Amino acid sequence: MKKWWKAGLCMLIISVFMLSIVACGKEKVQTVRVAEVTRSIFYAPEYVALEKGFFKEEGLNVELTTTWGGDKTMTTLLSNGADVALVGSETSIYVYAQGSNDPVINFAQLTQTDGTFLVSREKIDNFNWDMLKGTTFLGQRKGGMPQMVGEFVLKKHGIDPKADLTLIQNVDFANIANAFASGTGDFVQLFEPTASIFEKEGKGHIVASFGTESGHVPYTTFMAKESYMKENNDTIEKFTRAIKKAQDWVAENSPEDIAKAIQPFFKDTELETIITVVDRYKSQGSYATDPILDEEEWNNLQAIMKEAGELPKEVDHSTLVNTEVAEKVSNK
């Protein structure tokens, strides 16, 4: 009788122990709500981290939402509709300049160049930037990184955007491609895959890369409110480590393999087009190879904003950028 009682007690203890382990395991899964500014092949490492299970390996359940626009993305983050935002670093400066008591901190860089391309309506065999003078240029939304980089590059090549060409900036981001396809503008600044699709369909021709021309800049980064980072430091570290794994995977694999991995996020885009776009971004170094947003890149960002007349105030790198976690997971 005692043996049966002891055996039953042992089984009960083991069961309780196993349930405790399972319960602890469930508690370790942390949900992170991410708001991305748009859905773009430009953000390939983010989708690789999701598709290859790098977030899951870190015990994270990432819920991704596309918020379509920098203003909407930042509003979502500030109103606690998201824990982390993937958006241009300039937005954190705009928020800080407004006197936020809980500033938005950049903690992991995803892209390190501009992601747009100059597309001409007519095919040009030997393009030079002077060809834009006297033409109509359909640019991006005023105050956003694409527009600021676009003007920065034009000025770099001796072109005054306000005097040497007709600059159109009042078209909503979602309608820029359609406006060009409908006949507006001689040149347009487009993201991929639209630029490559236009070229394939004969609607336009890629003649230059704004990313190549502008140099390294923290174009798109993961950021969170300072309060969230302090309260969830372990989660931020796990998140950043997953991104670093994805960055390594992207660096080590071919455009074909990367395209196949992220294709579920672009079901309406042909695999061949995704491969072309990934190859273009990868070859020009758009995908950051580590999540560290260094001071030189930050200063380059502010120089571009200042040149465009959009820098509300200069902000030290240490004020809105936290590199500790990124350096830790990158072993630097």
> Which CATH number applies to 116-214?
3.40.190.10
Domains 29-113+217-329 and 116-214 alike in fold: yes
- Residue 119's nearest CA partner among 200, 44, 220, 39 is 200
**Alpha-carbon distances of 256 from 137, 270, 280, rounded to whole Å:** 33, 12, 12
| Confidence (pLDDT) at 213 | 94
| Confidence (pLDDT) at 26 | 47
Tens-digit pLDDT profile for residues 36-78 = 999 999 999 999 999 999 999 999 999 999 999 889 999 999 9
CATH class, 29-113+217-329 region: alpha beta
C-alpha triplet 304, 309, 313: angle, nearest 5°: 85
* 8 Å CB contact between 68 and 269: no
Residue type, 59: G
What is the spatial order of strands in the sheet that 104-111 belongs to? 60-66, 30-36, 84-87, 220-225, 104-111
- b/e sequence 115-142, b meaning 16+ C-beta within 10 Å: bbbbbbbeeeeeeebebbeeeebbbbbe
211-219: average pLDDT:
93
* 8 Å CB contact between 30 and 60: yes
Q: 202 pLDDT exceeds 80? A: yes
* 8 Å CB contact between 296 and 216: yes
Tens-digit pLDDT profile for residues 276-309 = 999 999 999 999 999 999 999 999 999 999 999 9
| Confidence (pLDDT) at 332 | 64
> Would you give the end-to-end CA distance of the chain in angstroms?
63
303-318: average pLDDT:
95
Q: How far apart are CA 120 and CA 165, in angstroms?
A: 14
Tens-digit pLDDT profile for residues 89-116 = 999 999 999 999 999 999 999 999 999 9
Specify which residues 105 forms β-bridges with: 224
Task: Quote the pTM value.
Answer: 0.88
* 8 Å CB contact between 87 and 37: yes
**How would you classify the pairing of strands 136-138 and 187-191?**
parallel
Q: What are the domain boundaries of the chain?
A: 29-113+217-329, 116-214
- Band the pLDDT of 172: cuts 50, 70, 90: confident
- Band the pLDDT of 133: cuts 50, 70, 90: very high
C-alpha triplet 286, 49, 71: angle, nearest 5°: 65
C-alpha triplet 175, 179, 183: angle, nearest 5°: 170
Tens-digit pLDDT profile for residues 229-275 = 999 999 999 999 999 999 999 999 999 999 999 999 999 999 999 99
Q: Where are the alpha helices (DSSP H) in 79-209?
A: 90-97, 145-156, 176-181, 194-201
Tens-digit pLDDT profile for residues 1-38 = 444 444 444 454 444 444 444 444 445 799 999 999 99
305-315: average pLDDT:
95
| Confidence (pLDDT) at 144 | 84
| Confidence (pLDDT) at 4 | 44
Residue type, 295: E
Specify which residues 321 forms β-bridges with: 106
